[in-house]
Amino acid sequence: AQTVTQSQPEMSVQEAETVTLSCTYDTSENNYYLFWYKQPPSRQMILVIRQEAYKQQNATENRFSVNFQKAAKSFSLKISDSQLGDTAMYFCAFMKRGTTSGTYKYIFGTGTRLKVLA
Amino acid sequence: GAGVSQSPSNKVTEKGKDVELRCDPISGHTALYWYRQSLGQGLEFLIYFQGNSAPDKSGLPSDRFSAERTGGSVSTLTIQRTQQEDSAVYLCASRPGLAGGETQYFGPGTRLLVL
């Protein structure tokens, strides 16, 4: 069964510094998608970045980038120039194909609570 | 355009009562998911609707939980005879569907408190 592991329950970083959140997953599939979602205190889950497994190039979205190591089944998120607004819970998610053709299911990690310090 | 909406935002109920939670997905999205998020925890998959296919109910924790999706749009999650352990945030997400769009878009959730 697929699993997603986030081994850092809590992290903190000084404003303007860089922080890396780790995520590992387990799967026997070759084609899949990986996501990082942010959940601020408002509770709204917001997509931060996504990665297609067949793409070797790491995804980047402004200050957010990933280090995707397919062989190691690792998908870490790097936040550069951290801002106070980055304070949130961050979830790593793996998308797998369901048993019915064309269906997809998602497995989420338990999250990392990130606090950006002024 | 409008995102995923959920109502109510917060719900307080007494143990043993039934509750209904509503989700309005993004227009045109054919896939709809319900998740439960207990305090400080990750997301627990509950149920998944894809177009007109039979829903994937494999995540429903007991027969007190049910969900339906009428007309391929709005979905209602019903919890019967609520228990205190049902207290959680219930999140709904939608996705464009089979042709593409692997990204889920989430609603703001409904916080349920069972006294």
pLDDT tens sequence across A6-32: 999 999 999 999 999 999 999 988 888
| B1–A contact, CB cutoff 8 A | no
Q: Which residues of A touch B103 (CB under 8 A)?
A: 35, 47, 50
| B42–A contact, CB cutoff 8 A | yes
Average pLDDT score over chain B: 92
B29-78: pLDDT as tens digits: 989 999 999 987 789 999 999 888 889 999 999 999 999 998 879 999 99
What DSSP assignment string belongs to A48-66?
EEEEETT--SPPEETTEEE
The number of C-alpha atoms within 13 Å of A101 and in the hemisphere containing its C-beta is 1
Contact A16, A117 (CB under 8 A): no
**Given pLDDT bands bounded at 50, 70 and 90, which one contains residue B89?**
very high
Strands (E), B8-86: 10-13, 19-24, 31-37, 44-50, 65-69, 75-79
Q: Which residues of A lie closer than 8 Å to B, measured between beta carbons?
A: 33, 35, 37, 42-47, 50, 91, 95, 98, 100, 102-111
| Main-chain dihedrals φ then ψ at residue A11, nearest 5 degrees | -145, 155
Give the CA distances from residue B44 to residues A9, A103, B37, B75, in Å, rounded to whole numbers and listed in that order: 17, 18, 6, 18
Which among A30, A31, A36 is positioned nearest to A4, based on CA atoms?
A36
Is pLDDT above 80 for A2?
no
Residue B54 is given by DSSP the state P
CB contact under 8 Å between B103 and A42, yes or no, is no
CB contact under 8 Å between A104 and B109, yes or no, is no
What pLDDT is attached to residue B1?
Answer: 56
Q: Kindly tell me the sign of the dihedral angle through the C-alpha atoms of B89, B51, B62, A5.
A: negative
Domains and CATH numbers, chain A: 3-117 (2.60.40.10)
CB contact under 8 Å between B33 and A106, yes or no, is yes
Burial class of B101 by CB neighbour count within 10 A (0 to 12, 13 to 18, 19+) = middle
A79-104: pLDDT as tens digits: 999 999 999 999 999 998 766 666 78
The radius of gyration computed from the CA coordinates of chain B, to the nearest angstrom, equals 13
Q: Domain B5-114: which topology? A: Immunoglobulin-like (2.60.40)
Give the Cα separation of B52 and B73 in Å (integer).
11
**Number of CB pairs, chain A paired with chain B, less than 8 A apart:** 56
**Would residue B99 be called left, alpha or beta, if left means φ above 0 and alpha means ψ between -120 and 50 degrees?**
alpha
A30-51: pLDDT as tens digits: 888 999 999 998 888 999 999 9
**Given pLDDT bands bounded at 50, 70 and 90, which one contains residue A1?**
low
| B43–A contact, CB cutoff 8 A | yes
Q: Which residues of B touch A108 (CB under 8 A)?
A: 35, 42-43
CB contact under 8 Å between A47 and B105, yes or no, is yes
Question: What's the whole-number mean pLDDT along residues A57-72?
Answer: 95
Give the Cα separation of B83 and B86 in Å (integer).
5
